[in-house]
């Protein structure tokens, strides 16, 4: 640690400023919109496309290059829209297809591209295919139906467990069972069937033709299954449903579709094996994938540096840019996570009542924002991250997430990071609804004190999280050296991350208790908190410098 060890990524010559070229995604800042909780345009308590359209100027001012929308399709919302009933329709709670088209066009006029979310692993049990399958139609082959085990077929066909807990199989009456790696309302598709492949490629075309620039692929490493559907055996290779080789052919064929439109992919690929992970990023497969090792990494200089080094080293041979993600709609919000004894993220250890120091977490989250925005590649921001929102405690009788229910009430679930945003401190429900009208109660309760995080208050406060993000994202696009390109570590104490980018750009993050000297520089571009009286960088503070 601490010695200069260059870690080089592919140099393309494109920088964060070049947000308009075909390589825009290599350096972009992409803002994740969880539509249901972003802004409510019609006052029914649920966020919608009208709300997003009304807030496009806010997003443009934040300076983001693209929006990734969680699924906005027609859905019974048994898993926040990841149970899709119709890929070609927008859920009426969110708006209409025509409105989505307008939103895509309006955003583009502001220089903001649109990324949609496609869920290949499963559909809703209300999808026409599954309804036809239950009625005994040939559509049964598009899913995984199997007879049960046991004398009367009363036991699930195999030992697989749902990602949300409980068995991954549900029996239809006294008949066969169907597979669902998530909730029972999310039957898994059979990707060995050509109709499943054809349909998804048509859906991709449908949305590319409406102007979307990219597609996030949900649970991208889980769609293919061992056709035998064998029992799960720990460490057996290949895994019966994770990271199977068949997937690569599927994504190569998706890539050919995307290339016709200049579209790009970002895969949700949770894989501990980094060599396997980057196979999805070969030049004829996905353009990018979320970097969950960085997202899950504790606030620790050694672990962070290792995560950065491994990320860059693994991406370099395939020529794909890294992505940097601090949080999303599935994980504990950053200011909360960094304010806890265990600052890493792990689905398995989430618990109610974990003690949290929000002031500490917020200081670290501010430093982490500058760290991630200075690293080579693209950055994802999750709505509310720019407001420094903490994870909310949702009263148990208001929780909606199936993760909570399927864990038997031990896992708090993911609603705590999905609370409707506070826009205007003085308005009802912190301005989540349309201005000037009372507006319905938000679908998830906002905790006491939520208005203190309102965007309108923060916009006027130069010391706020929003002001920090606005300044950082703007500098990232106007100053040279950010985005895709090389990184080299600078000599620094063990608890300090210090690296140089192109054009003399330097990022320093101090994670230790001793204030750190800044490297020689001509300009301090931005710091996540005040320097001390001697111009040194205090604990849990980051700075951007020009050498």
CB of residue 434 vs ligand NOJ: minimum separation in angstroms?
Answer: 27
Residue nearest to ligand NOJ (CB): 82
215 or 526: whose CB is closer to ligand NOJ? 215
84 or 502: whose CB is closer to ligand NOJ? 84
Residue corresponding to tokens 């864990």: 407
Q: Are 86 and 73 within 8 A, CB to CB?
A: yes
Residue choice 330, 386, 391, 479 for contact with ligand NOJ (CB under 6 A): 330
71 or 442: whose CB is closer to ligand NOJ? 71
Output the CA–CA distances (angstroms, integers) from residue 355 to 307, 337, 448, in the order listed. 26, 10, 18
Kindly tell me the number of DSSP H helices and DSSP E strands found in the chain.
Answer: 15, 19
- By CB under 6 A, residue 119 contacts ligand NOJ: yes
| Cβ neighbours of residue 154 closer than 8 Å, sequence gap 6 or more | 148, 171
Q: What HEC string does 338-407 produce?
A: CCCCCCCCCHHHCCCCCCCCHHHHHHHHHHHHHHHHHCCCEEEEECCHHHCCCCCCCCHHHCCCHHHHHC
Q: Are 42 and 50 within 8 A, CB to CB?
A: yes
Interaction residues for ligand NOJ, span 401-440 (CB under 6 A): none
Size of the site for ligand NOJ (CB under 6 A): 9
Other beta carbons within 10 Å of 296: 18
79 or 427: whose CB is closer to ligand NOJ? 79
Comparing CA positions, the residue from 437, 447, 485, 450 lying closest to residue 312 is 485
CB of residue 269 vs ligand NOJ: minimum separation in angstroms?
Answer: 11
- By CB under 6 A, residue 182 contacts ligand NOJ: yes
- By CB under 6 A, residue 162 contacts ligand NOJ: no
Q: For residue 260, indicate whether it is catalytic.
A: yes
91 or 218: whose CB is closer to ligand NOJ? 218
38 or 82: whose CB is closer to ligand NOJ? 82
Residues 377, 372: Cα–Cα separation, whole Å: 9
- 351: preceding bond cis by omega (within 30 degrees): no
Q: Are 75 and 67 within 8 A, CB to CB?
A: no
DSSP letters, 84-113, are -SEEEEE-TTT--HHHHHHHHHHHHHTT-E
Residue choice 23, 40, 79, 411 for contact with ligand NOJ (CB under 6 A): 79
**Among 260, 437, 461, 514, the one annotated catalytic:** 260
CB of residue 118 vs ligand NOJ: minimum separation in angstroms?
Answer: 11
Residues 70, 531: Cα–Cα separation, whole Å: 38
401 or 427: whose CB is closer to ligand NOJ? 401
Interface pattern 256-295 for ligand NOJ (x via CB under 6 A): ------------x---------------------------
CB of residue 209 vs ligand NOJ: minimum separation in angstroms?
Answer: 24
- By CB under 6 A, residue 219 contacts ligand NOJ: yes
243 or 268: whose CB is closer to ligand NOJ? 268
Residue choice 99, 218, 314, 484 for contact with ligand NOJ (CB under 6 A): 218
Sheet strands (E) in 75-212: 86-90, 113-118, 145-146, 169-171, 177-179
- By CB under 6 A, residue 125 contacts ligand NOJ: no
CB of residue 111 vs ligand NOJ: minimum separation in angstroms?
Answer: 27
- By CB under 6 A, residue 23 contacts ligand NOJ: no
**Residue 25 has what DSSP assignment?**
G
Q: For residue 456, indicate whether it is catalytic.
A: no
Q: Where are the alpha helices (DSSP H) in 35-184?
A: 35-38, 49-54, 56-62, 97-109, 128-134
Q: Are 130 and 123 within 8 A, CB to CB?
A: yes
- By CB under 6 A, residue 332 contacts ligand NOJ: no
Other beta carbons within 10 Å of 376: 28
- By CB under 6 A, residue 72 contacts ligand NOJ: no
**How is residue 402 written in tokens?**
């199936």
Comparing CA positions, the residue from 218, 56, 199, 205 lying closest to residue 129 is 199
Q: How many residues does the chain have?
A: 547
- By CB under 6 A, residue 82 contacts ligand NOJ: yes
CB of residue 322 vs ligand NOJ: minimum separation in angstroms?
Answer: 20
CB of residue 223 vs ligand NOJ: minimum separation in angstroms?
Answer: 11
**Among 218, 243, 268, 415, the one annotated catalytic:** 218
- Binding site residues, ligand NOJ, CB under 6 A: 79, 82, 119, 182, 218-219, 268, 329-330
Q: Which residues are catalytic?
A: 218, 260
């Amino acid at each position: 640690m601490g010695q200069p060890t260059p870690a080089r990524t592919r140099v393309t010559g494109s920088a964060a400023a070049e947000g308009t070229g075909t390589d825009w995604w290599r350096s972009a800042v992409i803002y994740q919109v969880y539509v249901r909780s972003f802004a409510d345009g019609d006052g029914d308590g649920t966020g919608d496309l009208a709300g997003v359209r009304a807030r496009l100027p806010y997003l443009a001012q934040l300076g983001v290059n693209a929006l990734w929308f969680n699924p906005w399709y027609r859905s019974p919302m048994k898993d926040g829209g990841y149970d899709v009933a119709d890929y070609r329709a927008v859920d009426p709670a969110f708006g209409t297809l025509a409105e989505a088209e307008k939103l895509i066009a309006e955003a583009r006029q502001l220089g903001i591209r649109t990324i949609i979310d496609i869920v290949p692993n499963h559909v809703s049990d209300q999808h026409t295919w599954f309804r036809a399958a239950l009625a005994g139609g040939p559509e049964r082959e598009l899913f995984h139906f199997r007879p049960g085990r046991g004398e009367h077929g009363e036991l699930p066909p195999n030992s697989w467990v749902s990602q949300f807990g409980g068995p991954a199989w549900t029996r239809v009456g006294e008949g066969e069972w169907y597979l669902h790696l998530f909730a029972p309302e999310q039957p898994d598709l059979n990707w060995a069937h050509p109709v499943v492949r054809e349909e998804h490629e048509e859906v991709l075309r449908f949305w590319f033709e409406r102007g979307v620039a990219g597609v996030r692929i949900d649970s991208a490493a889980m769609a293919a299954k061992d056709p035998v559907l064998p029992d799960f055996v720990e460490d057996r290779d290949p895994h019966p449903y994770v990271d199977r080789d068949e997937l690569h052919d599927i994504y190569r064929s998706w890539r050919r579709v995307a290339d016709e439109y200049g579209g790009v992919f970002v895969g949700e690929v949770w894989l501990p094996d980094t060599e396997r992970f980057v196979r999805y990023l070969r030049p004829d497969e996905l353009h990018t994938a979320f970097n969950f090792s960085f997202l899950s990494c504790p606030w620790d200089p050694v672990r962070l540096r290792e995560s950065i080094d491994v990320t860059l080293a693994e991406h370099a041979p395939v020529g794909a840019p890294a992505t940097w993600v601090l949080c999303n709609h599935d994980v504990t919000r950053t200011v909360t996570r960094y304010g806890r004894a265990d600052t890493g993220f792990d689905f398995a250890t989430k618990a109610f009542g974990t003690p949290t120091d929000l002031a500490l977490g917020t200081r670290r989250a501010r430093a982490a924002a500058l760290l991630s925005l200075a690293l080579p590649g693209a950055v994802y921001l999750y709505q509310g991250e720019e407001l420094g929102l903490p994870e909310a405690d949702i009263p148990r009788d208001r929780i909606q997430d199936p993760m909570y229910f399927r864990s038997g009430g031990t896992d708090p679930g993911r609603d705590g990071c999905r609370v409707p945003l506070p826009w205007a401190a003085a308005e009802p429900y912190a301005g989540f609804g349309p201005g000037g009208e009372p507006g319905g109660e938000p679908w998830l309760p906002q905790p006491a004190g939520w208005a203190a995080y309102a965007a309108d208050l923060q916009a006027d406060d130069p010391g706020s999280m929003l002001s920090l993000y606005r300044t950082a994202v703007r500098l990232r696009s106007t100053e040279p050296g950010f985005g895709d390109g090389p990184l080299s570590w600078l000599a620094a104490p063990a608890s300090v991350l210090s690296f140089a980018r192109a054009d003399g750009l330097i990022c320093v993050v101090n994670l230790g208790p001793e204030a750190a000297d800044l490297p020689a520089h001509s300009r301090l571009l931005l710091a996540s908190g005040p320097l001390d009286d001697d111009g040194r960088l205090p604990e849990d503070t980051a700075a951007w410098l020009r050498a």
